[in-house]
Chains A and B, each alone.
Chain A
């Protein structure tokens, strides 16, 4: 992925990111994974985005059947008996690994894949890193739109989510993350659970729609797919996205206000900290230069040190409306090392040189895929140990190994704190013994 833009300019015909569809627009596929992903897809369907392929993937047949997206894919194996992954991301991963040959063809000839997923469960967290890798190997720009669980969902889900997020960051070209906890700030006391999840889904759908618009509309001031890749590359650990729309006479003022009030941009504070910002404006034929100027001026004032990239597009249906999509990205010291190229001692540049000197020989359709990130020694040990166990099972049966889990049937009594006010800290009840909360067994 590292050098895709460079190769693009030299060998544009084979570069997948520039693969245009017949009508000159890039083909974009939106994939929802897991229950949360399906919910967001439903949301997107309701908005009626056309000229985009939607695909729903889940391990749970029932929720897949309820989804309104026409093209669906069920990942299952016999051992699950239609019960889904049961919150175990390992199962999701194994499922997806097993179905990898089926997944890859889905992304052939597609220029952009958006993976929409809620991390923290089994299906989403397990499947989506594999999916992202498959999409990227098929040569598509892969963007993941994710939500992370609420704090009150407990530390287990949080850990699963953060592990999956790390995997995803290594696999996808870009990750745009919406922590659900931030949504909590937006809603008031009386908001129902359904509405809370709906607003979270809406925000994510907003993001998907915004980025899709940015890429799908032929702009007057164009943002290329390649620009977009460049912006997100190496920075996606810290990217935030805001979408705002306004109509009426004062729409340029209003849209800016809405944008800065966007929860993901933390009141515009993010802008000051980011070092690359992409702004895409979409308006009707009546979009004036003054409006663009006003919006950009406001944004630029907020982020003096950032590199700002802008695009503007005109859509007939946006008469008297103005929509702004803003992606802010920050380089993160840690992420650099993660994406460092490893193996064979070849740097990305060298690889590229090799490809080019091959002299018009067939270039494989896939772009350069970085090897998996280097792991610290202890994690490696852990993974090796896991593999060892998995290998043992494989010799007996070809089926992916299922872990025997113990159900938490034992009810933890709080002893002397039973009747006192519980001490809750970030969703954890501190009155329950630490060793139980951390799942450490005493034997």
Chain B
């Protein structure tokens, strides 16, 4: 892991509809390049969580093998994306008094205050996935990114904490470890997707990333360059298919197919009175389905999802940060007219997110459903850069000390 030559970073997302592994290569000048992609249909996952480990294991193996072949590398460790209704995000504040005589804030003070902020009182079965640093406050003055060297009596820091049920997180990790793969880190899928989609400017202006996956919908709010709010709703594309299967009285697989071929997030006048003929495997017509009903069912479900998100955002007071709008990704972003529906409900400009910040396989980058997996690679690259910087820092001190001795 600490070997500087190992610059292969793999993101693995075990989704409800597909398992997807993305291989990225970090070059010596820290540029990230996507070199491989493997995917397979997922069968052992419901609502973003593994329900059948043996099935899931098989699907993961297939995706990893495909990615290995494409990138021509051997995958040893992955950054694993996690999601599910049990994940929960909140903001926490840590406080630390500056004790030094001259009131200058030093690196130790910063480390202490971060430590305080991360000390969160959670039930024993909960595990903190991320504690993302937001802004520092020095004597109540907000918006400070690095307080080292400033004068003040009190440093505070806000962290955004994402936590989840330990056992349910362990399930995914164990399944991956069962394939002789190391898990470098687990990452909240919504966070990963936002890393892949948003530019720094968009983060600064304030935006929401909504990842509409198969089993769960994640949303992440950025404002002033930092994460302000996160959330998961355990409703996704699977629910649409299920609603259709129930409402149109067709098998689930047929509902899935109808959703992809004829679905839309809005009910237009053009759909009124139109019918779709379902044929059997021999091409004989079985029955007809009302297109308007199909779209109405979809539209209501999607509208509800956006309404729930809208409600959650307004409760968190997130709307005041958002000047750049909403970015959609995940398989749900492919639904025609979904941006129009989202605009209607959320009252903000909505665009389908594009992964711009990374170079590499064009075919992989253009797909909204790979945003989270690509984001995992990006997360990995940021981690490695951080590690590299830290070790460089260590070396720097060592060398200066060495120099001192030499001079003496």
Chain A residues close to B by CB (< 8 Å): 412-417, 420-421, 423, 425, 430-431, 433-436, 438, 440, 442
- CB contacts (< 8 Å) of B246 on chain A: these are 412-413, 415, 433, 436
Beyond the given A415-B252, A420-B46, please list 18 additional residue pairs across the A-B interface where CB-CB is below 8 A.
Answer: A412-B246, A414-B242, A415-B245, A416-B241, A417-B238, A417-B242, A423-B234, A425-B308, A430-B235, A431-B239, A433-B246, A433-B300, A434-B300, A434-B303, A435-B296, A435-B300, A440-B300, A442-B296
Nearest chain B CB to A433's CB is how many angstroms away? 4
Compute how far the CA of A425 lies from the CA of B216 in the bound complex, rounded to whole angstroms.
Answer: 14
- CB contacts (< 8 Å) of A415 on chain B: these are 242, 245-246, 252
Compute how far the CA of A417 lies from the CA of B51 in the bound complex, rounded to whole angstroms.
Answer: 12
A423 engages B245 (CB within 8 Å): no
B239 engages A440 (CB within 8 Å): no
A416 engages B242 (CB within 8 Å): yes
- CB contacts (< 8 Å) of A413 on chain B: these are 246
- CB contacts (< 8 Å) of B290 on chain A: these are 442
Per a CB cutoff under 8 Å, which of B47, B242, B303 touches A433? B242
A420 engages B51 (CB within 8 Å): yes
Within 8 A of A (CB), among B290-326: 290, 293, 296-297, 300-301, 303-304, 308
A434 engages B304 (CB within 8 Å): yes
B349 within 8 A of A: no
Which B residue's beta carbon lies closest to that of A413? B246
B247 within 8 A of A: yes
- CB contacts (< 8 Å) of B296 on chain A: these are 435, 440, 442
Compute how far the CA of A138 lies from the CA of B85 in the bound complex, rounded to whole angstroms.
Answer: 55
A442 engages B297 (CB within 8 Å): yes
User: What would be 24 A-B contacts, judged by CB atoms less than 8 Å apart?
Assistant: A415-B246, A415-B252, A416-B241, A417-B46, A420-B47, A421-B47, A423-B85, A423-B233, A425-B308, A430-B234, A430-B239, A430-B304, A431-B239, A433-B243, A433-B247, A434-B300, A434-B303, A435-B247, A435-B300, A435-B301, A436-B247, A438-B300, A440-B296, A442-B297
List the 5 shortest-distance A-B pairs measured between CB atoms, nearest first: A433-B243, A434-B300, A415-B242, A423-B234, A420-B46
A434 engages B242 (CB within 8 Å): no
Within 8 A of A (CB), among B236-262: 238-239, 241-243, 245-247, 252
Nearest chain A CB to B342's CB is how many angstroms away? 16
B242 engages A431 (CB within 8 Å): yes
Nearest chain B CB to A439's CB is how many angstroms away? 11
A421 engages B243 (CB within 8 Å): no
Which size bracket describes the interface of B in this complex? 20 to 34
Give the number of residue pairs across the A-B interface with Cβ within 8 Å: 65
Which A residue's beta carbon lies closest to that of B300? A434
Which A residue's beta carbon lies closest to that of B168? A421
- CB contacts (< 8 Å) of A431 on chain B: these are 239, 242
B contact face: mostly helix, strand, loop, or mixed: helix
Within 8 A of A (CB), among B108-137: none
A423 engages B301 (CB within 8 Å): no
Compute how far the CA of A435 lies from the CA of B267 in the bound complex, rounded to whole angstroms.
Answer: 14
- CB contacts (< 8 Å) of A423 on chain B: these are 47, 85, 233-235
Which B residue's beta carbon lies closest to that of A417? B242
B293 engages A434 (CB within 8 Å): no
Which A residue's beta carbon lies closest to that of B308? A425
Within 8 A of A (CB), among B210-252: 233-235, 238-239, 241-243, 245-247, 252
Most buried by B among A430, A433, A436: A433
Within 8 A of A (CB), among B274-301: 290, 293, 296-297, 300-301
- CB contacts (< 8 Å) of B304 on chain A: these are 430, 434
- CB contacts (< 8 Å) of B308 on chain A: these are 425
Compute how far the CA of A431 lies from the CA of B245 in the bound complex, rounded to whole angstroms.
Answer: 13
- CB contacts (< 8 Å) of B234 on chain A: these are 423, 430
Compute how far the CA of A423 lies from the CA of B235 in the bound complex, rounded to whole angstroms.
Answer: 8
B293 engages A442 (CB within 8 Å): yes
Which B residue's beta carbon lies closest to that of A415? B242
B297 engages A433 (CB within 8 Å): yes
Nearest chain A CB to B44's CB is how many angstroms away? 12
Compute how far the CA of A430 lies from the CA of B46 in the bound complex, rounded to whole angstroms.
Answer: 14
Mark each residue of chain B from 368 to 398: 1 if its CB lies under 8 Å from any CB of chain A, else 0: 0000000000000000000000000000000
- CB contacts (< 8 Å) of B242 on chain A: these are 414-417, 431, 433
B243 engages A434 (CB within 8 Å): yes
Compute how far the CA of A238 lies from the CA of B296 in the bound complex, rounded to whole angstroms.
Answer: 38
Which A residue's beta carbon lies closest to that of B245? A415
Which B residue's beta carbon lies closest to that of A438? B300
- CB contacts (< 8 Å) of B301 on chain A: these are 433-435
- CB contacts (< 8 Å) of B243 on chain A: these are 433-435
- CB contacts (< 8 Å) of A416 on chain B: these are 46, 238, 241-242, 252
- CB contacts (< 8 Å) of B47 on chain A: these are 417, 420-421, 423
Compute how far the CA of A414 lies from the CA of B235 in the bound complex, rounded to whole angstroms.
Answer: 13
Nearest chain B CB to A437's CB is how many angstroms away? 8
Nearest chain A CB to B12's CB is how many angstroms away? 22
Compute how far the CA of A417 lies from the CA of B239 in the bound complex, rounded to whole angstroms.
Answer: 8
Nearest chain B CB to A421's CB is how many angstroms away? 7
Compute how far the CA of A158 lies from the CA of B301 in the bound complex, rounded to whole angstroms.
Answer: 21
Nearest chain B CB to A271's CB is how many angstroms away? 22
Mark each residue of chain B from 21 to 57: 1 if its CB lies under 8 Å from any CB of chain A, else 0: 0000000000000000000000000110001000000
- CB contacts (< 8 Å) of A433 on chain B: these are 242-243, 246-247, 297, 300-301
- CB contacts (< 8 Å) of A442 on chain B: these are 247, 290, 293, 296-297
Compute how far the CA of A261 lies from the CA of B238 in the bound complex, rounded to whole angstroms.
Answer: 45
Compute how far the CA of A425 lies from the CA of B247 in the bound complex, rounded to whole angstroms.
Answer: 22
With A433-B297, A442-B297 as given contacts, are A421 and B85 in contact (CB-CB < 8 Å)?
Answer: yes
Which A residue's beta carbon lies closest to that of B234? A423
Which A residue's beta carbon lies closest to that of B303? A434
Compute how far the CA of A423 lies from the CA of B234 in the bound complex, rounded to whole angstroms.
Answer: 6
Compute how far the CA of A417 lies from the CA of B85 in the bound complex, rounded to whole angstroms.
Answer: 14
Nearest chain B CB to A259's CB is how many angstroms away? 28
Which A residue's beta carbon lies closest to that of B294? A442
Nearest chain A CB to B346's CB is how many angstroms away? 17
Compute how far the CA of A413 lies from the CA of B234 in the bound complex, rounded to whole angstroms.
Answer: 18
Most buried by A among B241, B247, B290: B247
Compute how far the CA of A414 lies from the CA of B46 in the bound complex, rounded to whole angstroms.
Answer: 13
Nearest chain A CB to B275's CB is how many angstroms away? 13
- CB contacts (< 8 Å) of B297 on chain A: these are 433-435, 442
Nearest chain A CB to B315's CB is how many angstroms away? 11
